[in-house]
Amino acid sequence: MSDHDVRGQARGPVTIDGAELRLVRLPLVTPFVIATGTMREKVFPLVRLFSSGFEGVAEGVMDPLPDYLEETTAGAVEFLSAVLLPSVVGKSFANPEALARHLAPWRANHMARATVEMAFWDLWARSLHLPLQTLLGGEGEAIDVGVSLGIAPVDTTIGRVRDHLDQGYKRIKLKVCQGHDIAFVRAVREAFPEAKLTVDANCDYTLADSALLARLDDFALDYVEQPLAWDDIHDHAALQARMRTPLCLDESIRTPAHARKALQSDAARVINIKVGRSGGHCNAKAIHDLCAAFDVPVWCGGMLEGGIGRAHNIHLSTLPNFTKPGDTSSASRYFHRDIIVEKLEAVGGRMPVPKGAGTGVTLDHDFLASVSTDLRRFDR
């Protein structure tokens, strides 16, 4: 197959014949506690796009309340049903870049547009009979993964850290918040002197806390993730100038322009890329490439995704600058039963890349029907 075929040009454009949107609700095995609140169930919109016998699927990563970023499930469902999905059904796109350009005029709503864009990447890859990773520019059969541990008392956390290190996870991320920081991190570090540890504050601090945050330098953390506001870059640069530990931005990076500004101002020495937060794979790739140009490593974050979102994350994580372990850990840590047939389980801290065309995973239709509400179809 020539490069020409791989880019999809020679195969002709992909026409979206129809779409489906539903809301999926999965209980979490363990409630997940972060600075902004507690998640007990994972609720997400699932988009399927159809084209002459092929299907592409993606999950939206917005939450019911605007407590991670500003998008909400209700707002996204409305925007997807009233605007985004009707605007693509019946249209032909030569490749995912063309679809991303079609969505570009809308302001923000990066999670809602990512849901459509990612489903189209899967559809396009399946129509070309190629794995998503190949079209994204990645390679390899497995990725290194770590875990993100929600806020819990120190004894509980130490038990969880031990358990996940024993399973071979490559890095442990500890959620921290005001009042649950220095003493907590010190206790975990003392219990595991050699472990690769990071912390994530989910925006719980301000620049006025920089003296306290600089004390995290004592614990040999790989990085400190998103200590300051979700829409800030400037103050993170000021904080980075006051501490040795690299800062990693998550919430603040929703577009390639955000990444460029953070890199140019030394506000981030590591970036957490979440494809579902950044408008989709085109933007995720652009952020990845910018970081590589600045010699800044990236890793793939997560939003407690079901199997479809998890599979997209795994394929993206095979790009070359994903040199730090990501958050895409075993689905069984989150859900009793997943919405896909394949089991996405890490072995010794390595998550295998699902094989086959597109994301390589298959919806478990019976189970999906039992956990879905609000099914809507869009036909030409």
Chain residues binding Mg ion by CB under 5 A are 200, 225, 250
Only segment of 184-192, 231-239, 297-305, 349-357 that touches ligand OSB (CB under 6 A): 297-305
Rounded distance between C-alpha atoms, residue 189 and residue 123, angstroms: 45
Is residue 280 near ligand OSB by the rule CB under 6 A?
no
Catalytic residue among 42, 173, 175, 285: 175
Cβ neighbours for 369, distance < 8 A, ≥ 6 positions apart: none
Judged by beta carbon distances under 5 to 8 A according to partner kind, the member of ligand OSB, Mg ion, none in contact with residue 302 is: ligand OSB
Are 339 and 23 a contacting pair, CB within 8 Å? Answer: no
DSSP symbol at 286:
H
| Tokens linked to 134 | 């190949």
Is residue 250 near ligand OSB by the rule CB under 6 A?
yes
Tell me the helices (H) and strands (E) count for the chain, helix number first: 14, 15
Judged by beta carbon distances under 5 to 8 A according to partner kind, the member of Mg ion, ligand OSB, none in contact with residue 148 is: ligand OSB
Nearest to 308 by CA among 137, 120, 119, 174: 119
DSSP, collapsed to helix, strand or coil, labels residue 37 as strand
Q: Smallest distance, Å, CB 89 to ligand OSB?
A: 30
Instruction: List the one residue from 302, 307, 349, 358 that touches ligand OSB (CB under 6 A).
Output: 302
- Phi/psi of residue 153, nearest 5 degrees: -55, 155
| Tokens linked to 89 | 């059904």
Residue with smaller CB distance to ligand OSB, 62 or 286: 62
Rounded distance between C-alpha atoms, residue 247 and residue 228, angstroms: 10
Residue with smaller CB distance to Mg ion, 200 or 342: 200
Catalytic residue among 42, 170, 274, 324: 274
Rounded distance between C-alpha atoms, residue 216 and residue 223, angstroms: 10
Nearest to 61 by CA among 313, 366, 336: 313
Is residue 359 near ligand OSB by the rule CB under 6 A?
no
Judged by beta carbon distances under 5 to 8 A according to partner kind, the member of Mg ion, ligand OSB, none in contact with residue 327 is: ligand OSB
Rounded distance between C-alpha atoms, residue 158 and residue 165, angstroms: 11
**String marking each residue 128-157 x if it binds ligand OSB according to CB under 6 A:** --------------------x---------
Is residue 200 near ligand OSB by the rule CB under 6 A?
yes
Tell me if residue 175 is catalytic: yes
Only segment of 164-172, 239-247, 298-306, 317-325 that touches ligand OSB (CB under 6 A): 298-306
Locate tokens 């490069």: which residue? 3
Q: Taking CA 237 as the corner, what is the angle to CA 234 and CA 239, rounded to the nearest 5 degrees?
A: 110
Q: Smallest distance, Å, CB 271 to Mg ion?
A: 11
Instruction: List the one residue from 51, 202, 318, 321 that touches ligand OSB (CB under 6 A).
Output: 202
Residues at the interface with ligand OSB (CB under 6 A):
68, 148, 200, 202, 250, 301-304, 327
The residues annotated with a catalytic role in the active site are 175, 274
